[in-house]
Amino acid sequence: MFYVNVYIRFPIYICIHYSTINIYLEYSLTENGRELVSILQDLHKWGQAQLDNNR
């Protein structure tokens, strides 16, 4: 038995909760979430460059 918990306002992930003896959660990105990956990678690169420039 499981159910899907989706953040509704801006769905960037899906959480599947499996009802077992031990709690088991599985997270995955929605299409909206996958679109953010390249933006976050660029932001990470920018942040690394700022750190390197300030050393």
pLDDT tens across 8-49, in order?
A: 566 787 778 787 777 788 888 889 889 999 999 999 999 999
Check residue 35 and report its DSSP letter.
H
Q: What is the pLDDT of residue 7?
A: 47
Which of helix, strand or coil describes residue 29? strand
Cα–Cα dist 41/38, whole Å: 5
3-state SS of the chain is CEEEEECCCCCCEEEEEECCCCCEEEEEECHHHHHHHHHHHHHHHHHHHHHHHCC
